């Protein structure tokens, strides 16, 4: 063991196209299989680049063991961007070998937060929201086309996930600073679209109307007709606004809000106030 | 008995086990409720009901993404069960959404937590294998994580579909006969649930910053949908009076509405990249030479 530790401080192995393919494949198909509360994607990060680590440091060397221990520590980021961090990591490790251990640990910890924030807001919230809205809108009308459209978009995203590793590897640490402006512009535009689409959806997808009709002597007042003259779809807008307000309250979770809405809807329907729009 | 055939139970269980792995890895959208509705509808022989249930639950959880590994409401399994029982036991789709889909989806949060917890065991096995330099063992124990994940979805879905049938059928027939108010109420709730999804989504979006676009999206759609809807009613009425009138009116295409929003987003993107490009040019003139120096120093050290 001790004899080897002297000899292999520098990495002689150069990553090949096959290595990148293998990392990408492992990231796309096996990432997060080992997700757990203690280290989250920790073991996943190690698993994805393990064959490359073995080639770079050599089997049964103390360097490999210490690097593997470091790569097995807590890690969690957007699974759309993890290979960007791994590309930067590999570029550094290839250059400096085991000496880079602390640098790499620092870069992993430093980058996982920002990439999680951007990745989650773009790919865990916005894409599902916009594509989900279009697909669901078609689906409730009995049309499956939207679901296929969504899948097509997701395959385009997968393609980006595939090419970003090599890009990050070549650019190294500089990538983060050069990407920042573009990513925030993209996030800004995407959130704008998200807000717009929610407005559009509130107007079409909340099929509720006031069914209460007041009888004043011989005159019947249909509330929904009155409301439609002020502004069509006003009730759905008020409901979305009301729930938005409720979600801002303390101790309110989305699951709780869903159940409150079910109970209130059943009550209002039983009282003959609110009903399903035709 | 006879509600859901054994092969249907097995196929739907397999799908539930696959969808969570898809969600964790490639994210092809197959794990989304619309797809769950489509697939469960296909298996049960009624795609339309599946799509309605899947679409409604998709809208309900529209803003619910996984953030930082928090468990989210499992609308996929909810859709599978709601669709299977709606078709198998003859429930109205809207009722199935509120009465079955949502409760199941929120109960499944618990099994998700168990799976994430169980995987800690394999994480520690990986630690041990690193010490032993057992490389195959590291990979094997990492991949064992598939077991908690798939079982967390497969077991509840299988049990509910295989044994829940008689119970659901009794409940449905009792509700239809004796509790019409509840049945209507749940249908109203089902129609209302998408509003929760929209509100949750707004919580995650910078509403204040983009508020004008919220208004634009709402007004454009509210007006057009009223116009389209009324023309549609007019068309059907005229067609009922005059058989020579055969023109069909399409309903409001949501994609067109979304494209208007896309144009707004594109304008915003152009504006902000131009802004940041100006800033970058100013910055780079200062920082470029310092970066080069930095690189040279590193080169000398090695």
Domain boundaries, chain A: 2-202, 206-276
**A32: three-class secondary structure by DSSP:** coil
Q: Give chain B's end-to-end CA distance (angstroms, integer).
A: 75
pLDDT at A125 over 80: no
B215 interfaces chain A, CB cutoff of 8 Å? yes
Element (H, E) at A138: helix A127-140
Instruction: Give the alpha-carbon dihedral of A167, A168, A173, A177, to 10 degrees.
Output: 70
CA distance B221 to B230: 14
Q: Does B230 touch chain A (CB under 8 A)?
A: no
Residues of chain A in contact with residue B233, where contact means CB-CB under 8 angstroms, are none
Spell out which residues of chain B touch residue A200, defining contact as CB-CB under 8 Å: 217-218, 220-221, 254, 257-258, 261
Which stretches within chain B are classed as H helix? 6-24, 33-44, 47-60, 75-89, 93-96, 102-132, 135-143, 146-163, 165-178, 180-192, 194-204, 211-241, 254-301
CA-based nearest distance A2→chain B, Å: 16
Residue B42: predicted pLDDT? 96
- pLDDT value, residue B291: 43
User: Which chain A positions have a beta carbon within 8 Å of B123's beta carbon?
Assistant: 34, 36, 38-39, 42-43
In chain B, where are the structural domains located? Answer: 1-205
Instruction: Kindly state the average pLDDT of the residues A77-99.
Output: 92
Other beta carbons within 10 angstroms of residue A212's beta carbon come to 15
pLDDT for residue A217 is more than 50: yes
- Listed by number, the residues of chain A in 182-221 with a beta carbon closer than 8 Å to a beta carbon of chain B are 182, 184-186, 188-208
The answer to whether the Cβ–Cβ distance between A262 and B189 falls below 8 Å is yes
Q: Whole-number mean pLDDT of chain A?
A: 87
Looking at CA atoms only, how far is residue A90 from chain B in angstroms? 17
Residue A48 CA to residue A33 CA, distance in Å, equals 11
Which 15-74 residues of chain A touch chain B by CB within 8 A? 28-40, 42-44, 46-47, 50, 54, 59-60, 65, 68-69, 72
Q: What is the pLDDT of residues B137-181, one digit of tens each?
A: 999 999 999 999 999 999 999 999 998 888 877 777 787 777 888
Q: Does A244 touch chain B (CB under 8 A)?
A: yes
d(CA B289, CA B51): 59
- Top mean-pLDDT range of A198-207, A259-268, B281-290: A259-268
**Chain B partners within 8 Å of A129 (Cβ):** 62-63, 201
Q: How confident is the model at residue A6 (pLDDT cuts 50, 70, 90)?
A: very low
When pLDDT is averaged across residues B91-107 and rounded to a whole number, the result is 87
Beta bridge partners of A40: A36, A75
**In the A/B pair of chains, how many CB contacts fall below 8 A?**
394
């Amino acid at each position: 063991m001790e004899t080897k530790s002297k000899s292999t401080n520098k990495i002689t192995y150069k990553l090949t196209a096959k290595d990148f393919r293998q990392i990408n494949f492992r990231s796309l198909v096996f990432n997060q299989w080992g997700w757990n509360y203690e280290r989250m994607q920790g073991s996943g990060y190690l698993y994805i680049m393990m064959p490359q680590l073995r080639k770079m440091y050599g089997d049964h060397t103390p360097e490999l063991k210490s690097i593997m221990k470091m790569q097995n520590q807590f890690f969690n980021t957007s699974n759309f961007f993890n290979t960007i961090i791994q590309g930067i990591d590999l570029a550094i490790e290839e250059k400096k070998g085991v000496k880079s251990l602390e640098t790499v640990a620092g870069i992993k910890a430093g980058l996982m937060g920002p990439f999680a924030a951007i990745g989650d807001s773009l790919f865990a919230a916005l894409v599902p929201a916009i594509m989900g809205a279009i697909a669901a809108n078609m689906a409730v009308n009995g049309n499956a086309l939207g679901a296929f459209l969504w899948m097509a978009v997701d395959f385009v995203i997968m393609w980006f996930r595939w090419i970003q590793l090599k890009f990050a590897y070549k650019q190294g640490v500089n990538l983060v600073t050069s990407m920042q402006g573009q990513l925030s512009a993209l996030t800004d535009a995407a959130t704008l679209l998200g807000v717009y689409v929610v407005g559009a959806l509130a107007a079409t997808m909340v099929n509720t109307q006031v069914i209460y009709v007041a009888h004043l002597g011989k005159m019947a007042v249909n509330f929904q007709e009155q409301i439609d003259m002020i502004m069509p779809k006003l009730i759905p807008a008020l409901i979305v606004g009301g729930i938005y307000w409720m979600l801002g309250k303390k101790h309110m979770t989305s699951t709780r809000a869903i159940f409150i809405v079910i109970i209130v809807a059943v009550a209002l329907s039983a009282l003959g106030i609110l009903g399903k729009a035709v | 008995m006879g509600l859901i055939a054994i092969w249907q139970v097995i196929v739907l269980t397999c799908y539930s086990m696959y969808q969570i792995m898809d969600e964790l890895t490639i994210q092809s959208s197959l794990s989304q409720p619309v797809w769950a509705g489509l697939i469960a509808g296909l298996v049960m022989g009624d795609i339309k009901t599946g799509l309605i249930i899947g679409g409604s639950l998709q809208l309900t959880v529209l803003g619910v993404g996984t953030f930082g590994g928090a468990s989210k409401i499992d609308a996929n399994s909810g859709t599978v069960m709601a669709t299977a029982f709606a078709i198998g036991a003859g429930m109205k789709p809207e009722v199935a959404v509120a009465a079955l889909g949502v409760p199941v989806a929120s109960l499944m949060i618990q099994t998700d937590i168990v799976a994430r917890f169980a995987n800690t065991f394999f994480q520690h096995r990986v630690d041990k294998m690193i010490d032993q330099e057992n490389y195959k063992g590291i990979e094997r124990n990492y991949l064992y994580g598939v077991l908690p994940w798939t079982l967390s979805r497969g077991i509840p879905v299988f049990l509910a579909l295989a044994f829940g049938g008689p119970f659901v059928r009794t409940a449905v027939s009792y509700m239809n006969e004796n509790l019409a108010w509840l049945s209507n109420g749940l249908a109203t709730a089902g129609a209302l649930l998408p509003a929760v999804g929209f509100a949750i989504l707004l919580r995650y979006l910078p509403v204040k910053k983009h508020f004008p676009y919220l208004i634009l999206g709402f007004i454009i759609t509210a007006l057009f949908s009223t116009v389209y809807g009324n023309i549609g009613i007019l068309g059907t009425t005229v067609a009922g009076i005059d058989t020579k009138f055969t023109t069909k009116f399409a309903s409001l295409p949501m994609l067109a509405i979304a494209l208007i929003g896309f144009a707004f987003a594109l304008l915003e993107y152009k504006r902000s990249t131009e802004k940041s490009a100006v800033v970058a040019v100013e910055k780079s003139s200062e920082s470029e030479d310092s970066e080069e120096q930095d690189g040279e120093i590193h080169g000398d050290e090695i």
